[in-house]
Structure 1
Amino acid sequence: MIRRIAAAALGFSALLTLTACGADSSAEASSSKQVTLTIGDQAKTLQTIVAASDALKGAKYKVKWAEFEGAAPLYQAVQAGAADTGYSADLPALQALSGGVRVKNVAALQNDGKHVGIVVRKGSGIDSVKDLKGQKVVVSSAKGSIAEYLLANALKQNGLSYQDVHVQYLLPTDAQAAFASGKIKAWATFGVYQAVGLDQGGKLLVDGADGRVSGIGFINASDDALANSAKKAALADFLKRLGTALQWTSTHQEAYAKAIQERNGADASVAKTLASAAYGKVLPITDDVNRTVQGVADLMNGIGVLEPNVDVAKSADTSLLK
């Protein structure tokens, strides 16, 4: 069982690498003048949700998908004009804004935060967050990931500083292999990798629930797309349809998991984990959203991970989704 799940996770990651810049037209064109939105996606997540729920039926515009393995290459594509939108958890969006990517957050996504966790090996002697002091903690995948925010916030909540641990960054598949071989005691990770780590002799030290992560993600749009009135109108419609699609995943998790299997090549256990970790709502960018994510930005800026800091409220366009 362990080998099967681990192999599935590795195979799934390889699949993501192969789909790094695919395109799939998902709304039928009725006119050669029809506007086309290029929607940035990670791991076919949004594309699978939209296709499985048939959310684009009747749309008066075309959608082309730009697929990437992670947020960093996706935002590079947005910056280069190869995608109209980005999609990520809060901290990768903040990293993009801090790095000068010309985007605005146009909608918020929300889940319960349980898809992010710190997994430790059984018998490691680490039984609480305070036991992490002096330990090496592997963070997946790069500096500024949502897993790193969980680690930083959990340490703060337990009276420790970020300097109390030794952080090492590893891609999720590399970290998974090292954890399975016993080379890693503590691993801050997410999603299917969290599930695999627990299945490979790990135990959950803490997850992102109860406010340890914000549970907020963002759909953002490039400044160029927002300056195009036709694209802006199409994107406003797409956000409403995505909201309907996410509601569908909440009430049809079995069908959604099956769609993940079919479209992403994941096995049943991996698909079930991914389905249960999905964002469940599309929300407008409100003062509460901005205030919550500003707290994320300020904490990560304070430990030197987010430089320069970001004014979250000024990075939003609230006109598309009321």
Structure 2
Amino acid sequence: MIQFKDVSKSYDGKTNVVESVNFEIAEGEFFVLIGPSGCGKTTTLKMINRLIPLSDGTIRIHDKKISDYAIHELRWQIGYVLQQIALFPHMTIEENISIVPELKQWKKDRIHKRVTELLNMAGLDPDTYRGRKPSELSGGQQQRIGVVRALAADPDIVLMDEPFSALDPISRLKLQEDLLHLQRTIRKTIVFVTHDIQEAMKLGDRICIMKDGKIEQLGTPEEITAAPATPFVQQFIGSGGTQPFVIRDHMTPASEIPAPGAPSLAIDAGWSTVLDTLLVTDVVAVVDNEFIVGTLSRESLLAFLAAQEKERTATV
């Protein structure tokens, strides 16, 4: 699908920021580029759609050199999601999503149907959100629109450059869950840049760890965790992920019958359910066998995430 052959990039003609990189990305694969700041991961991503020209080597898509594509032809088959959401503030959500289909001269009814499909896919009611402006949405909702806008013209490839790093921890984790669900549905070829090893391990089918413009290790999360190829990789991956979140360990004990309609969580609720619930309310009752056994707050969840982040950065 995407092939890098001896690809290098230098901005000054002297020092390579990407040096002799070789890899292939299969169709439908979720491929993560990760490494510390300045390692060349974003440059590598941007060379795929020719936002940055390569200095040496070749990149092929569908066995065709990217230099042989007309630039608009190349970019129309590649969706692009940035950290800066970059929705047009004066346009409605429907107009933002419709930009590339309109450039490709899709008929209006086809565009309308596609917007409806994508908003449903993003978990946003089309009748409620299609006419709103970006300023009327939360940061997480705006980033959902950024993701589905990249899918609007049904591209073969989606490039994602640290798309969730500016979000708060709960929104970020929720968007990761949403993206995994979306990928299981649409099976696009996704190239995803991040600096967060936990995010990479969670999302990637394969992970390419870079340092100083070179590949340190490329493999599945399981392969990299089981057998780090270099001391740098060993240090970079740290523990390889967060400890599990157990509701009982973070709740404030209580004992009463829950009020009808009050927000609540089962004591054995999964991580995704915890995120969904505390994304929209500050405190929930924790219920076991129809009795409230405690309360769980958004503050306690954020404290858990902060502790995990501190532990992760201490090992990198």
TM score, norm. by length of structure 2: 0.26
The structure with the largest helix share of the pair is 1
- TM-score w.r.t. length of structure 1: 0.26
